[in-house]
């Protein structure tokens, strides 16, 4: 007689054998999770790789009427734009270009996932920008500067002969949200990327990306002629240097006919540039622009420059580039970070936007969370980028770029919610008028099937979590306009007390917080560095007045007494304490929301997010305790009675020394060991 436990084991094995297993949700499918095999009838106007991709996507996922793709120019629809309408029992997608039809196919699938019964009979979409570009800070050794999701996607040793399946999946994800360009390598560029051997590798990627409407760009080192071919100079006005760049560009286009152009970081943080030879940024950019112009290539010249000087670091890009307005070639675009310092959790917009009336500008956003908890914290960044667009009209920009957060991790971006920022960047680059709420709705519906679950509140609860997440990070890290209070080297934890002998002053937190017995904050008003004068008169007047300056920028523009009265009647010290505490309480609320989602989320992603939220909770307390205990030394005021008291001492927190590479995000387990 079979024993009882063996009988139940046999029954269990039989049940497993007969029951289909659920696909593990490791996040690798991103927001493209259509699993149906619809086999819908799709009519295409001709055979091509791009149109075949569009048809295949629809055949895999579209559950509605037959679809007809039509190549036709329509009034009010741009070359990459498209229309979608229902006509004679069919859904008709129309565009003047094959890439436009591919975008239309992905948009139709997005409508099905997000509003299956609530989309109009006719949809017309045109991109806000002709150039919608991801910047990869990937190095040739496969490390990623400020990368927190594994190694670089690009396996340079295996290229060009071996192409990873991830390359096409990457192209597919980008095309689905309208991204049409990729800069493959780090702005701190190795000259080797322009060697012939590496150009053959770049060619292989360009050929694979082309059917998805994605053009390849390269970051270049300005001293490449000296490194690769031993020229004695890289002076942009030197005839030999000019000939070298023209020959190199000709070589590139012989391999990649639709090559997009160059991205350049010059005379910044040790990178070589035209200023090394007594020339201007315009001289350097125009050298490359002239070489690219016959092939319709462009130069994206970064305005991220600052040098050791007495000038307020926030003013330096404006001081260096504003006098050059109107001197750049027409195929040069100046790429400007959204704020005047460096991708802080909150910054006012860079005053260069609007100041250079005769030079095309493009905004540079950071998708990777260098200053927002790496890939350990939830920080949905669409609200930050929309905040930028409150001050900078989208129509004033020529293009838009985002520093990628993509790596070899199975889920691409490290944190399951970090993919929302890749998605949000693409959607805003396509349509800058979209709201943060609408983009969150789209991403949640496609990524977690939140509209399809039995929970009546799951979607709205998770949308609230996303929309509140960036503000929570600002609160527990650097509220009221504080900025750059990060630990030395890795930009992860707090270290307002940091003091590295011999380091540049503008790399020290004290340069920015200037806390003393009188108050806290950087005086950039007319009584200080006068950075407010770089803004248009109406904005300058707002920022310059300590009583009118928005609270979120107060300590960015003013050194404020600890007992200064805020609009709600509290003192500055009390308000600062309550913001830090509010950030901590928000993360506690996020934990509760996520825990309640357990019955409706696959176990793999649920547990990963739950673990990361524990890390974020500990980090939020670390930030709150460290900053407030440090600043209290100067304020000499008690904590408000209604806030959560510190659980650490300042001496304990000063002893925390994380060893974190610039290129790798610590796991929660590593962080806990290192503290």
What does the alpha-carbon distance between residue 308 and residue 254 come to, in Å, rounded to a whole number? 42
Lowest mean pLDDT among 29-38, 206-215, 381-390, 475-484: 29-38
Residue 13 confidence class, pLDDT cut points 50, 70, 90? very low
User: What average pLDDT does this structure show over 180-201?
Assistant: 98
What does the alpha-carbon distance between residue 488 and residue 67 come to, in Å, rounded to a whole number? 56
pLDDT of 28-55, one tens digit each?
999 999 776 667 999 999 999 999 999 9
Q: Are residues 70 and 188 in the same domain?
A: no
Which residues on neighbouring strands pair with residue 299, listed in sequence order? 262, 332
Report the SS3 class of residue 215. strand
What does the alpha-carbon distance between residue 136 and residue 155 come to, in Å, rounded to a whole number? 14
Q: Are residues 479 and 600 in the same domain?
A: yes
Quick one: pLDDT at residue 308?
A: 78
Q: For this structure, is 370 an active site residue?
A: yes
Residue 668 confidence class, pLDDT cut points 50, 70, 90? low
pLDDT of 158-183, one tens digit each?
999 999 999 999 999 999 999 999 99
Per-residue pLDDT at 152 exceeds 60 = yes
pLDDT of 420-446, one tens digit each?
999 999 999 999 999 999 999 999 999
Q: Are residues 52 and 144 in the same domain?
A: no
Q: Are residues 120 and 140 in the same domain?
A: no
Quick one: pLDDT at residue 62?
A: 94
Residue 4 confidence class, pLDDT cut points 50, 70, 90? very low
Per-residue pLDDT at 305 exceeds 70 = yes
Quick one: pLDDT at residue 117?
A: 79
Q: Are residues 118 and 136 in the same domain?
A: no
Quick one: pLDDT at residue 524?
A: 98
Which residues on neighbouring strands pair with residue 71, listed in sequence order? 95
For residue 68, give the CATH number of its domain: 3.30.379.10
Quick check: 513 and 504 in contact, CB under 8 A? no
User: What average pLDDT does this structure show over 573-584?
Assistant: 98
Instruction: State the average pLDDT for the chain.
Output: 94
Q: Please identify which of the residues 269, 433, 518, 598 carries the catalytic annotation.
A: 269
* Residue linked to tokens 């070489």: 291
531, part of any domain: no
Q: Are residues 121 and 77 in the same domain?
A: yes
Quick one: pLDDT at residue 16?
A: 33
Q: Please identify which of the residues 370, 387, 442, 664 carries the catalytic annotation.
A: 370
Q: Are residues 390 and 418 in the same domain?
A: yes
Q: Are residues 354 and 493 in the same domain?
A: no
Last residue of a domain, one of 96, 125, 154: 125
Q: Tokens in use for 400? A: 């838009």
541, part of any domain: no
Per-residue pLDDT at 599 exceeds 60 = yes
Q: For this structure, is 269 an active site residue?
A: yes
For residue 613, give the CATH number of its domain: 3.90.1330.10
Quick one: pLDDT at residue 664?
A: 58
pTM (2 d.p.): 0.95
Quick one: pLDDT at residue 23?
A: 57
Cβ-Cβ contacts under 8 Å for 619 (sequence gap 6 or more): 373, 376, 377, 493, 671
CA-nearest of 243, 312, 226, 215 to 531 is: 312
Q: What are phi and psi of 91, to 5 degrees?
A: -100, 120
Query: Which strand (E) or helix (H) includes residue 29?
Result: none
Quick one: pLDDT at residue 20?
A: 34
Q: Please identify which of the residues 26, 342, 545, 551 carries the catalytic annotation.
A: 342
What does the alpha-carbon distance between residue 513 and residue 629 come to, in Å, rounded to a whole number? 14
453, part of any domain: no
Last residue of a domain, one of 415, 434, 453: 434
Cβ-Cβ contacts under 8 Å for 413 (sequence gap 6 or more): 149, 375, 405, 406, 407, 419, 421, 422
Q: Is the peptide bond before 476 cis (omega within 30 degrees of 0)?
A: no
Contacts within 8 Å (CB) and 24+ apart, 600-609: 600/448, 600/450, 600/453, 600/454, 600/455, 600/458, 601/448, 602/22, 602/24, 602/25, 604/24, 604/25, 604/26, 605/25, 605/26, 605/27, 605/416, 605/448, 608/416, 609/378, 609/415, 609/416, 609/417
Per-residue pLDDT at 116 exceeds 60 = yes
Cβ-Cβ contacts under 8 Å for 271 (sequence gap 6 or more): 187, 188, 221, 222, 265
* Residue linked to tokens 């460096």: 342
Burial of 264 (0-12, 13-18, 19+ CB in 10 A): buried
Q: Are residues 91 and 165 in the same domain?
A: no
pLDDT of 241-293, one tens digit each?
999 999 999 999 999 999 999 999 999 999 999 999 999 999 999 999 999 99
Which of 643 and 308 is assigned the larger pLDDT? 643
For residue 161, give the CATH number of its domain: 3.20.20.80
pLDDT of 493-547, one tens digit each?
999 999 999 999 999 999 999 999 999 999 999 999 999 999 999 999 999 999 9
Kindly give the pairing relationship between strand 82-87 and strand 90-95.
Answer: antiparallel
Listed in sequence order, the DSSP H helices in 478-571 are 509-513, 537-544, 554-557
2, part of any domain: no
395, part of any domain: yes
CB atoms under 10 Å from CB of 549, counted, come to 22
239, part of any domain: yes
Question: What is the helix, strand, coil percentage profile of the chain, to 5?
Answer: 45, 10, 45
Per-residue pLDDT at 673 exceeds 70 = no
Q: Sheet containing 42-43: which strands, arranged edge to edge?
A: 42-43, 67-71, 90-95, 82-87, 122-125
Q: Are residues 182 and 272 in the same domain?
A: yes
Helix axes 603-635, 572-596, angle to 10 degrees: 170
In our burial notation (b when 16+ CB lie closer than 10 A, e otherwise), range 66-89 reads: ebbbbbeeeeebbebbbbbeeeee
- One DSSP character per residue, 597-651 reads TGGGS-HHHHHHHHHHHHHHHHHHHHHHHHHHHHHHHHH--PPPTTSPPPSS-HH
Q: Containing domain of residue 569, as a range?
A: 474-522+559-674
617, part of any domain: yes
Share of the chain above pLDDT 70, in %: 93
Quick one: pLDDT at residue 34?
A: 79
User: What average pLDDT does this structure show over 322-342?
Assistant: 98
Tally of domains within the chain? 3
Last residue of a domain, one of 106, 125, 144: 125
Per-residue pLDDT at 340 exceeds 60 = yes
Lowest mean pLDDT among 31-40, 121-130, 300-309: 31-40
20, part of any domain: no
Q: Are residues 118 and 143 in the same domain?
A: no
Q: Are residues 76 and 161 in the same domain?
A: no
What does the alpha-carbon distance between residue 535 and residue 531 come to, in Å, rounded to a whole number? 8
Q: For this structure, is 347 an active site residue?
A: no
């Amino acid at each position: 007689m079979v024993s009882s436990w063996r009988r139940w084991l046999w029954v269990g094995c039989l049940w497993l054998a007969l029951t289909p297993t659920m696909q593990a949700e490791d996040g690798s499918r991103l927001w493209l999770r259509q699993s149906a095999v619809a086999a819908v009838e799709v009519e295409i106007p001709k055979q091509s790789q791009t149109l075949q991709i569009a048809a295949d996507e629809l055949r895999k996922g579209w559950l509605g009427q037959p679809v007809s793709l039509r190549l036709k120019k329509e009034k009010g629809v741009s070359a990459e734009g498209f229309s979608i309408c229902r006509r004679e029992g069919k859904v008709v997608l129309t565009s003047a270009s094959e890439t436009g039809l591919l975008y239309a196919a992905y948009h139709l699938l997005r409508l099905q996932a997000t509003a299956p019964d609530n989309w109009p009979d006719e949809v017309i979409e045109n991109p806000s920008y002709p150039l919608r570009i991801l910047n990869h800070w990937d190095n040739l050794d496969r490390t990623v500067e400020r990368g927190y999701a594994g190694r670089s996607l690009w396996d340079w040793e295996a290229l060009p002969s071996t192409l990873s399946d991830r390359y096409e999946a990457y192209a597919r994800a980008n095309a689905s949200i309208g991204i049409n360009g990729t800069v493959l390598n780090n702005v701190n560029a190795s000259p080797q990327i322009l060697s012939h051997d590496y150009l053959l590798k770049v060619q292989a990627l360009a050929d694979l990306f082309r059917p998805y409407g994605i053009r390849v760009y390269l970051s270049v080192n300005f001293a490449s002629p000296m490194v690769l071919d031993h020229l004695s100079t890289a002076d942009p006005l030197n005839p030999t240097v000019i000939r070298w760049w023209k020959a190199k560009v000709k070589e590139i286009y012989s391999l990649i006919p639709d090559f997009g152009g160059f991205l350049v970081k010059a005379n910044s943080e040790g990178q070589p540039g035209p200023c090394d030879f007594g020339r201007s940024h315009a001289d350097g950019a125009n050298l490359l622009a002239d070489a690219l112009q016959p092939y319709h290539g462009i130069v994206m010249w970064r305005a991220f420059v600052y040098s050791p000087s007495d000038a307020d670091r926030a003013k330096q890009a404006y001081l260096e580039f504003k006098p050059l307005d109107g001197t750049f070639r027409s195929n040069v675009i100046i790429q400007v970070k959204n704020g005047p310092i460096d991708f802080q959790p909150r910054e006012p917009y860079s005053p260069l936007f609007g100041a250079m009336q005769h030079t095309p500008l493009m905004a540079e956003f950071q998708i990777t969370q260098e200053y927002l908890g790496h890939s350990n914290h939830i920080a949905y960044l669409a609200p930050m980028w929309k905040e930028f667009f409150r001050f900078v009209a989208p129509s004033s920009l020529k293009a838009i770029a985002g520093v990628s957060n993509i790596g070899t991790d199975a889920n691409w971006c490290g944190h399951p919610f970090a993919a929302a920022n890749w998605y949000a960047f693409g959607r805003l680059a396509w349509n800058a008028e979209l709201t943060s709420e609408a983009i969150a709705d789209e991403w949640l519906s496609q990524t977690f099937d939140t509209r399809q679950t039995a929970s009546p509140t799951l979607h709205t609860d998770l949308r609230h979590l996303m929309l509140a997440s960036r503000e929570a990070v600002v609160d527990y890290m650097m509220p009221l306009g504080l900025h750059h209070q990060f630990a030395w080297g890795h930009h992860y934890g707090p270290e307002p007390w940091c003091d590295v002998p011999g380091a540049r002053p503008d790399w020290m937190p004290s340069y920015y917080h200037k806390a003393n017995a009188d108050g806290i904050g950087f005086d950039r008003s007319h009584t200080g560095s006068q950075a407010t004068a770089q803004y248009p008169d109406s904005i300058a007047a707002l920022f310059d007045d300590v009583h009118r300056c928005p609270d979120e920028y107060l300590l960015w523009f003013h050194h404020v007494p600890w007992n200064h009265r805020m609009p709600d009647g509290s003192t500055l010290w009390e308000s600062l304490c309550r913001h830090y505490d509010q950030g901590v309480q928000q993360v506690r609320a996020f934990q509760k929301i996520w825990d309640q989602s357990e019955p409706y989320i696959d176990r793999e992603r649920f547990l990963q997010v739950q673990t990361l939220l524990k890390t974020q909770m500990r980090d939020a307390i670390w930030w709150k305790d460290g900053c407030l205990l440090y600043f209290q030394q100067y304020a000499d005021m008690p904590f408000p009675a209604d806030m959560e008291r510190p659980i650490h001492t300042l001496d304990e927190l000063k002893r925390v020394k994380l060893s974190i590479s610039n290129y790798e995000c610590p796991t929660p387990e590593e962080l806990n060991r290192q503290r």
